[in-house]
Amino acid sequence: SANGLETEILTADQAGIARATELLCAGALVSFPTETVYGLGADATNDLAVARIFEAKGRPQFNPLIVHVPSLDAVSDIAVLDGAALDLAQAFWPGPLTLVLPLKPGGSLSALVSAGLPTVAVRVPAHPLAQELLTVAGVPVAAPSANPSGRISPSTAQHVLDGLSGRIEAVLDGGPCEVGLESTIVGFDPAPVLLRPGGLPVEAVEAALGGPIATRQTNAGINAPGQLSSHYAPDAALRLNADATRPGERLLGFGHVDAVLNLSPSGDLVEAAANLFRYLHQLDDEGDAPIAVSPIPDHGMGRAINDRLRRAAAPRD
């Protein structure tokens, strides 16, 4: 184990939640399931606990983290929620949406959480275990995806252990994540801006706003991992929009194709999103032959899938 910790595997019951809460409130790192991906949680009001998130992930810089709370009501302690942000919160929370909001002045969050910015990213996850943990813990929980920096996000407890065993105190095992890729992130300029496509289709956000939303890849002053070009990377090289394999390649398919693994044989984008990270992890475990990926339609969940695939295929440092 990387720094001598014995990572506890906690079960999805009252005893597991009680232990996870006890550890979180004592400043420990506890990975927990959300409906998107597993988060690496720490008490967001505890500077030392938040600092340990960056150490455990090997994040090169102090990039801002998403803060998780159990309900819309709990947001007012940490951030200002009004206007279009409140509309989106009411429409989609709990769910796979993160809102970047003005920090509440004089709030109790560690300054490390927002990396010195005047804003904080907030999310109310829908997963029942996350809901219960956040409610019982009674503190806002900072949680990036529970993967080593630059690697594929975890959609099972085993993925978390593969990357972080020995570096964190515990993982609460809630089985595979239903959505399977990270939340959609919306900021305000003050007009709404899509910062990361994700588990909530952008079409749903636009329908709630009553019009199109602008897109921005990078946030002024931030160089965040989710916004860098090379991220979510498997060891093997990746080639996108492949209609056929070249010699030596393994096909990660979509739709009616003959493939080593198929994201969705029936061409269902929601199913494909749920399988994406699990299949990338699996291909990574099975060897380093290059991976070719079938074309994925660029609408609905396909937009987030293509975003993650482009990052995984980007040139590596």
In the complex, least distance from residue 75 CB atom to ligand TXA, rounded to whole angstroms: 14
In the complex, least distance from residue 58 CB atom to Mg ion, rounded to whole angstroms: 12
Q: Which string of DSSP letters, residue by residue, matches 72-95? A: GGGGGGTB---HHHHHHHHHH-SS
Contact between 184 and Mg ion by CB under 5 A: the answer reads no
- Residue selected from 21, 45, 156, 183 as contacting ligand TXA according to rule CB under 6 A: 183
Identify whether the C-beta of residue 48 lies closer than 8 Å to the C-beta of residue 27.
yes
Whether the ω angle into residue 94 lies within 30 degrees of 0, i.e. cis, is yes
Is residue 196 classed as helix, strand or coil in its secondary structure? strand
| Contact window for ligand TXA (CB under 6 A) among 158-166, 222-230, 238-246, 292-300 | 222-230
- Residue selected from 29, 99, 124, 143 as contacting ligand TXA according to rule CB under 6 A: 143
Query: Would the annotation count 68 as a binding residue?
Result: yes
Residue placing its CB nearer to Mg ion in the complex, 61 or 90 = 61
Dist. CA 123–CA 113, nearest whole Å:
13
| Contact window for ligand TXA (CB under 6 A) among 44-52, 77-85, 131-139, 225-233 | 225-233
- Residue selected from 36, 110, 245, 262 as contacting ligand TXA according to rule CB under 6 A: 36
Tokens of 314: 């980007």
Identify whether the C-beta of residue 291 lies closer than 8 Å to the C-beta of residue 237.
yes
Query: Would the annotation count 143 as a binding residue?
Result: yes
Q: How many residues does the chain have?
A: 317
- Residue selected from 219, 245, 264, 294 as contacting ligand TXA according to rule CB under 6 A: 219
Contact between 97 and ligand TXA by CB under 6 A: the answer reads no
CA neighbor of 304 nearest in space, from 227, 196, 189, 179? 196
Q: How many degrees, rounded to 5, is the angle at CA 149 between CA 113 and CA 278?
A: 115
Binding at 222: pick from Mg ion, ligand TXA, none (beta carbon under 5-8 Å per type): ligand TXA
Dist. CA 169–CA 30, nearest whole Å:
6
Q: Dihedral of CA 238/2/60/125: which sign? A: positive
| Contact window for ligand TXA (CB under 6 A) among 32-40, 159-167, 252-260, 264-272 | 32-40
Residue placing its CB nearer to ligand TXA in the complex, 17 or 143 = 143
| Amino acid identity for residue 293 in this structure | V
Identify whether the C-beta of residue 314 lies closer than 8 Å to the C-beta of residue 234.
no
CA neighbor of 195 nearest in space, from 54, 98, 298, 286? 98
- Residue selected from 98, 119, 145, 306 as contacting Mg ion according to rule CB under 5 A: 145
Query: Would the annotation count 59 as a binding residue?
Result: yes
Size of the site for Mg ion (CB under 5 A): 1
- Residue selected from 123, 167, 250, 303 as contacting ligand TXA according to rule CB under 6 A: 123
State how far the alpha carbon of 234 is from the alpha carbons of 112, 158, 239, in Å: 29, 16, 12
| Contact window for ligand TXA (CB under 6 A) among 83-91, 219-227, 240-248, 259-267 | 219-227
Residue 140: HSE in the Cβ half-sphere, 13 Å Cα cutoff: 28
Positions touching Mg ion (CB under 5 A) are: 145
Residues tagged in the binding site annotation for ATP: 59, 63, 119, 143, 145, 153, 196, 232
Residues tagged in the binding site annotation for L-threonine: 36, 68, 123, 183
Residues tagged in the binding site annotation: 36, 59, 63, 68, 119, 123, 143, 145, 153, 183, 196, 232
